[in-house]
């Protein structure tokens, strides 16, 4: 497997009320093309800080990131804007950040326009194709975002994320707000897209059951550090760290039932 992303010794501290919080403490990991790495950890363990650093929304204090053969932290300006198309994110209710009156079409038009994926005449057809791909009827294009259910919004968010033909999606608590049935369907969609397009995922959640359901490998984060990493089944069946044991204990059915 080709290494798509490799992160080495990332460190990030926040200062808050005169105290230093080590949100990332020497974090290293790698993801291969087409692979899903699950990142699981309790609330406050540093998962979202890592996702924001990867997406270049937050500068780390030190460490290096190689993505798609590039020194990711060194990219600036036009080169960074171009490369951003290759790493996209889906988080919990990303459409909540949009004007609630915005239509689904306008949400999907943005990345197509900004990254020059399709010219103006071709964009409505491209939007219809994206909607179809995530299991929504083309007529959804004219719907205001606020009229969509949680699961439908997450489908639009996934369509938006794949619009630029990325090689990596960072999914940060992307299914955490959804009920179990809807969550299962979204996970199925993600697996299909991965199979079709060779997409890699960094799939982040506080819930080990969800992470286990979709990940090839799982990394466990605790207080800013990766404390354990291995095949998903090993981490669930034979957790080595206290943090992993706590996460397994939080989902009592996990060991006996597959999700
Ligand atoms: N902007 C910030 N300022 C100060 N502390 C922060 C900030 N963002 C996160 N933190 C702290 O950093 C730690 C990691 O947070 P976060 O990355 O959000 O963890 P997770 O996503 O695993 O819940 C927590 O202790 C959190 O309180
Ligand atoms: Mg978080």
* Helix orientation angle between 123-133 and 150-162, rounded to the nearest 10 degrees: 120
What atom in ligand 1 is closest to the CA of residue 173? 21
pLDDT at residue 188 is higher than 70: yes
Q: What is the pLDDT of residues 17-57, one digit of tens each?
A: 889 999 999 999 999 999 999 999 999 999 999 999 999 99
For ligand 1, is residue 46 a contact (CB within 6 Å)?
yes
Average pLDDT value for residue range 219-243: 96
What atom in ligand 1 is closest to the CA of residue 45? 22
Which of 66, 255, 121 lies closest to 74 in space, CA to CA? 66
pLDDT at residue 96 is higher than 90: no
Tally of CB atoms within 10 A around 18: 5
Q: How far is the CA of 220 from the centre of ligand 2 (A)?
A: 14
Q: How far is the CA of 129 from the centre of ligand 2 (A)?
A: 31
Average pLDDT value for residue range 62-80: 96
**Across-strand partners of 217?**
37, 231
Which one of the ligands is nearest to 44 CA?
1
Atom 6 (ligand 1): residue with closest C-alpha?
Answer: 14
pLDDT recorded at residue 94: 80
pLDDT band at 209 (very low <50, low <70, confident <90, very high): very high
- Enumerate domains of the chain plus CATH numbers: 1-68+169-259 (3.40.50.300), 94-166 (no CATH)
Q: Helices (H) and strands (E) in the chain — how many of each? A: 9, 10
Which percentage of the chain shows pLDDT scores above 90? 90
Q: How far is the CA of 141 from the centre of ligand 2 (A)?
A: 30
């Amino acid at each position: 497997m080709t290494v798509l992303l490799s992160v080495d010794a990332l460190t990030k501290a926040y200062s808050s009320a005169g105290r230093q919080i080590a949100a990332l403490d020497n974090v290293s990991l790698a993801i291969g093309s087409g692979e899903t790495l699950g990142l699981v950890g309790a609330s406050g363990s540093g998962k979202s800080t890592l996702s924001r650093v990867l997406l270049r929304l937050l500068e780390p204090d030190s460490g290096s990131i190689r993505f798609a053969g590039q020194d990711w932290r060194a990219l600036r300006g036009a080169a960074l804007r171009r490369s951003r198309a290759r790493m996209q994110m889906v988080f919990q209710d990303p459409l909540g950040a949009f004007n609630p009156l915005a239509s689904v079409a306008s949400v999907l038009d943005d990345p197509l326009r900004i990254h020059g994926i399709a010219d103006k005449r071709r964009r409505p057809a491209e939007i219809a194709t994206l909607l179809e791909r995530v299991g929504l009827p083309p007529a959804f294009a004219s719907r205001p975002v606020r009229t969509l259910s949680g699961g439908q919004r997450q489908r639009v968010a996934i369509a938006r994320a794949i619009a630029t033909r990325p090689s990596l999606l960072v999914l940060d608590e992307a299914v955490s707000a959804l009920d179990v049935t809807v969550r299962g369907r979204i996970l199925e969609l993600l697996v299909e897209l991965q199979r079709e397009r060779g997409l890699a995922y960094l799939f982040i959640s506080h819930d080990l059951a969800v992470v286990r359901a979709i990940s090839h490998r799982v990394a466990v984060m605790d207080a800013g550090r990766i404390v354990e990493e291995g095949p998903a089944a090993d981490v669930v069946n034979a957790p080595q760290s206290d943090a992993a044991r706590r996460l397994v204990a939080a989902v009592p059915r996990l060991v006996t039932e597959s999700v």
